[in-house]
Amino acid sequence: MNRLSRTILKEIRKITNNSSALLHEPIFLGKENNYLKDCIKSTFVSTSGKYIQIFENKVKKFTGAKHAIAVVNGTVAIQMALRVLGVKTDDEILIPSLTFVGTANAVRHCNSIPHFVDSESFSLGICPKNLENHLKKISIKKNNNLYNKITGRRIFAVIPVHVFGHITNMEKIKKIANKFKLKVLEDAAESLGSFYNNKHAGTFGHAGILSFNANKVITTGGGGMILTNNSSTAKKARHLITTAKLNHPWKFIHNEVGWNYRMPNINAALGCAQIEKINTILKYKKNITKKYQKAFKSNNKITFFNQPNGCSSNYWLNVIRIKFKRISERDKLLNFLNKKKIQCRPVWNLLHKLPMFRKCPRSKLNISEQLEKELITLPSSPLYGKGK
Ligand SMILES: *Cc1c(COP(=O)(O)O)cnc(C)c1O
């Protein structure tokens, strides 16, 4: 293998202090055992119990969101938030092609259609300029709604994704959304602990979502959260995820087809212990980032991706950029590192190339194509930054 690959391997091993390294494993530093035992003892391990509300309140306090609704995972959080914001069958939803497949799946679960837009190198999120130019070109306003001139379908919302915890330029995206009458739902699945001008990810748009999958910053085993500052949006979301059941001490009255998407109490118990240690976890993660920054600073073939201006990022996954000419060169490096038991990953395969999304509408995706070829994520488990 070439010198570059060996350098990367050596630096990662130094930083992770290990011969093998996982991409992002959870860390349990607090009262996880106590809360889980207490939850089991209470027998309330399912959709009712005290930990759900306690966890929601802790998330509200940490993020500054007025409302937080706990659900079973981040994907259904997107699906429910879109529903509540008013998505209709066959609406188009603007999303980056460079995101986890869950974003696009959730759009399809609403019977709506992903409409892919390009990303920018600056934040790795949706490029505001591309978004605006694209909409100018392909859309038309009618009765306060936006339509795609080519497909005839309504364009309902935009979902900015804060990739790897770096916050997209929300001021510009919101301005464009306002101008074109679009709803804004932030996919902040990866960005718990990321702030832009001291405002937490997921609190800029009409709604936002978080994920607590085991590989995210904190975990509930599986879980997600809908964030919003709008009380009617919050109320509707809670209703929909609770089988659309009307409040009554003993009658079962449901007024529409709802879902059973509530987070179980036992998962929330884990979440409570996790979020109590969020600042320690974020500190450990910052330690790792500092080491990677230093390790790759003087290497002119490797660019460490730094948080965009104004953003205090959680650096969910640390990422480097290497100017490969072909994807096969990237894959050669990844093969080498993974064979050495170092979990490095490419970014996701661009979604517009996947078979189920190939026919979806899209803008030019030149920057996304370039980023797909050049980005490599590095082992970023909080464990590797412990106590240093
Ligand atoms: C993890 C993730 C999701 C989905 O969250 P789950 O809890 O795994 O369903 C959605 N979008 C992005 C960008 C993610 O990273």
Which of 79, 82, 103, 226 to mutate for ligand 1's pocket (most ligand atoms within 8 Å of CB)?
103
Ligand 1 neighbour 267 (Cβ under 6 A): no
Q: Per residue in 361-381, pLDDT tens?
A: 999 999 999 999 999 999 999
**What is the per-residue pLDDT for 1?**
60
The residue assigned the tokens 């603007």 is 94
User: What letter represents residue 9's amino acid?
Assistant: L
**What is the per-residue pLDDT for 19?**
83
387: pLDDT confidence band, cut at 50, 70 and 90? confident
Helices (H) and strands (E) counted in the chain, each on its own, are 12, 16
CA torsion sign, 66 to 158 to 262 to 273? negative
As to burial, measured by CB atoms within 10 angstroms (0-12 exposed, 13-18 middle, 19+ buried), residue 141 is exposed
Ligand 1 atom 2: the closest Cα is on which residue? 189
Where do the H-state alpha helices sit in the chain? 3-16, 32-42, 50-63, 74-85, 101-109, 128-138, 170-179, 231-241, 265-275, 278-296, 327-339, 366-374
Ligand 1 neighbour 102 (Cβ under 6 A): yes
Ligand 1 atom 10: the closest Cα is on which residue? 102
**What is the per-residue pLDDT for 28?**
98
Ligand 1 neighbour 224 (Cβ under 6 A): yes
pLDDT at residue 130 above 70? yes
Ligand 1 atom 13: the closest Cα is on which residue? 100
Q: Per residue in 238-253, pLDDT tens?
A: 999 999 999 999 999 9
CA of 73 relative to ligand 1 center, distance in Å: 8
> What is the spatial distance between Cα 233 and Cα 65, in angstroms, rounded to a whole number?
13
Return the percentage of the chain with pLDDT > 70, whole number.
99
**What is the per-residue pLDDT for 77?**
98
Ligand 1 neighbour 220 (Cβ under 6 A): no
Ligand 1 neighbour 103 (Cβ under 6 A): yes
Average pLDDT in the 91-120 region? Answer: 98
CA of 162 relative to ligand 1 center, distance in Å: 11
CA of 108 relative to ligand 1 center, distance in Å: 15
pLDDT at residue 274 above 70? yes
**What is the per-residue pLDDT for 18?**
82
Q: Per residue in 182-208, pLDDT tens?
A: 999 999 999 999 999 999 999 999 999
Ligand 1 neighbour 100 (Cβ under 6 A): yes
pLDDT at residue 119 above 90? yes
